Structure 1
């Protein structure tokens, strides 16, 4: 579908970031430092820092740039938002990881496909505060029906930028994170619209 081409989401992201790159880069730097620290601690305490802290910041950075897309401003406070509903998000993240690991144990490809199916969970949980992690995963799977390849191609389109960021010793990630996560937010808005349109037509 034309609306789901990576170029469409990346153009929306760049439009939202115009005039906001300085604040976006600061958000990217803060996320890089925090997530890097949790990943480092995982060398001492395997899995625990990333799963119980890092993934919350990974959801928070999505929220920062989702709000940038919708409201036109960067609010670093949103980086910490998932911690304010810790238990609900924790259950969601645990289920998401357990399901992905179980599918990966069968074969790597099914694991990748399922991880893509669950990719909208954090957005859904934020937009539906009464929804459990399990319900959000189910909603994400339904939303992603017919769009998993679209999301895969969107991620694939950032490989060149990621390699460039690595060549700059990771410094480029400060700008890549805003670009990527704002694009993911744009993808969510479009896939949500498509899901709601299909549901309305089926009603």
Structure 2
């Protein structure tokens, strides 16, 4: 099926597209999400040094998980090994994660709402870094800020549209999140594919 990405695609259409793309790919997508969650959680089991390890790993792992779902929506081959793709651009991913965390934290010091807005403002920075690995972290942040102008509310509503599924996942003792997380990640990857044309 040929998929025509459009900045005006509705959230319902983004979710529908994601379901189509995940058909036949659910096992791989779930495995990727599980690998990501396990690796992300492991540092918490290490006293004292765990926090430092988590800070070091978060950026590259985030870039890696994004690479998986970007490859999915672009109909490229992907496996759980792509979770580690972010380590190929470790320095930029690490710095980008530090800057995103810092900026969101500083805005959140004012009020919670500015912090949330800042989070959405920079939410596409890792997607941009994936497509442009030679960019510096600040450049990725600036481009994310640019393409999210007028789109922050759309992405917020997209996330909000999964609230029912999240509640159902909680009722299944978290098992439902095995399907929900890939569903959300694929939908957001499609969101990025639509708005990146504005860069």
**TM-score, normalisation: structure 1:** 0.87
Equivalence for 1:23: 28
Equivalence for 2:15: 10
Question: 1:80/1:108 Cα in 2 relative to 1: closer, same or farther (>3 Å)?
Answer: same
Question: 1:86/1:112 Cα in 2 relative to 1: closer, same or farther (>3 Å)?
Answer: same
Q: Is 1:135 aligned to 2:176, yes or no? A: no
Q: What is the rounded CA distance, in whole Å, between the counterparts of 1:66 and 1:56 in structure 2?
A: 15
1:2: Cα distance to partner?
8.1
C-alpha RMSD over aligned residues: 2.0
Query: Aligned to 2:74, what secondary structure does the other structure show?
Result: helix
Q: Is 1:81 aligned to 2:85, yes or no? A: yes
- For the Cα contact (< 8 Å) 2:36–2:61, is it kept in 1? yes
1:158-173 alignment, distance < 5 Å? 158-173=162-177
Residues 151-173 of structure 1: per-residue CA shift (max 9 Å, x gap): 00011111121222222222222
1:62-141 alignment, distance < 5 Å? 62-71=66-75, 73-141=77-145
Residues 90-128 of structure 1: per-residue CA shift (max 9 Å, x gap): 111111111110000011101100110000000101111
Question: 1:2/1:186 Cα in 2 relative to 1: closer, same or farther (>3 Å)?
Answer: closer
Stretches of structure 1 lacking an aligned partner (at least 5 in a row): 197-203
Q: Is 1:179 aligned to 2:189, yes or no? A: no
Q: What is the rounded CA distance, in whole Å, between the counterparts of 1:175 and 1:72 in structure 2?
A: 21
Q: What is the rounded CA distance, in whole Å, between the counterparts of 2:150 and 2:7 in structure 1?
A: 13
After TM superposition, the runs of 4+ consecutive aligned structure 1 residues lying more than 4 A away are: 42-46
Question: 1:109/1:46 Cα in 2 relative to 1: closer, same or farther (>3 Å)?
Answer: farther
| Number of equivalent positions | 194
Q: What is the rounded CA distance, in whole Å, between the counterparts of 2:40 and 2:166 in structure 1?
A: 17
Query: Aligned to 1:90, what secondary structure does the other structure show?
Result: helix
Query: Aligned to 1:3, what secondary structure does the other structure show?
Result: coil
Query: Aligned to 1:134, what secondary structure does the other structure show?
Result: helix
1:35: Cα distance to partner?
2.1
Stretches of structure 2 lacking an aligned partner (at least 5 in a row): 1-5
Q: What is the rounded CA distance, in whole Å, between the counterparts of 1:123 and 1:64 in structure 2?
A: 11
Q: What is the rounded CA distance, in whole Å, between the counterparts of 2:67 and 2:166 in structure 1?
A: 21
Residues 19-46 of structure 1: per-residue CA shift (max 9 Å, x gap): 11122222222222222323x3477447
